[in-house]
Amino acid sequence: MLSHLRPALVMLSLFTLLAGLIYPLAITGVAQVLLPSGANGSLVLRANQVVGSELIGQTFLSDRYFWSRPSAAGEKGHDAAGSLGSNLGPLSKKLIDRVEGDVAALRKAGAMSIPVDAVTTSASGLDPHISPGYAALQIGRVAAARSVPEARVRAAVETTIERPALGFLGEPRINVLRLNLALDAASPGGADR
């Protein structure tokens, strides 16, 4: 029996070492050399302080900032530890009421056309992007809160639009954190999210 058990234990040890230690360390090393920012979470720094990640959405409440799309992740939304969708189906009364409430609030604020990402959550609840249409909907509010011309805010929006990869893969989008940081850099005066 020992003659059968010994090769099995040697192979288990070998593959544990190979697949559990050597391979992950090699891949981590390659990632650190070739893509250091991505390998470390795509962290965004301001004054040498981490203010977020390009990959995880955040909640912005102040009128001075562009708001992210709604989030069902966690109790207050955008909780990276609670990443998930709402799991509410299209006939859910709770979902219908929330979306109708969001649409009514946007219509009351003067929106004629409402982009879908303004009232729906992403699958993870942590999408860091909004559509250019949703950003355009918010330009007036942000400009008024910052006491700057709308053209200046519109220019910041235009410069932060991420185009589709290779010109056709995906949709144009805006990273909300990057946009808000660009606005702060252009017109400092408080960072009250």
More confidently predicted of 145 and 193: 145
Question: DSSP character for 52?
Answer: E
**Global confidence as pTM:** 0.78
Rounded to the nearest integer, the mean pLDDT of the chain is: 88
Better pLDDT: 31 or 124: 31
92 phi-psi bin (left φ>0, alpha ψ -120 to 50, beta other): beta
Q: What is the pLDDT, as a whole number, of residue 32?
A: 92
Q: Rounded distance, CA 22 to CA 79, Å?
A: 33
Residue 19 has pLDDT above 90, yes or no: yes
pLDDT in tens, 49-102: 888 888 888 889 899 999 999 888 777 777 777 777 677 888 889 889 989 998
Alpha-carbon distance 24 to 131, whole Å? 36
**How confident is the model over 142-164, as a mean pLDDT?**
94
CB 183 within 8 A of CB 156: yes
pLDDT reported for residue 130: 94
Measured CA to CA in angstroms, residue 19 lies from 12, 26, 174 at distances of 10, 10, 38
Q: How many CA atoms lie within 13 A of 182 on its CB side?
A: 17
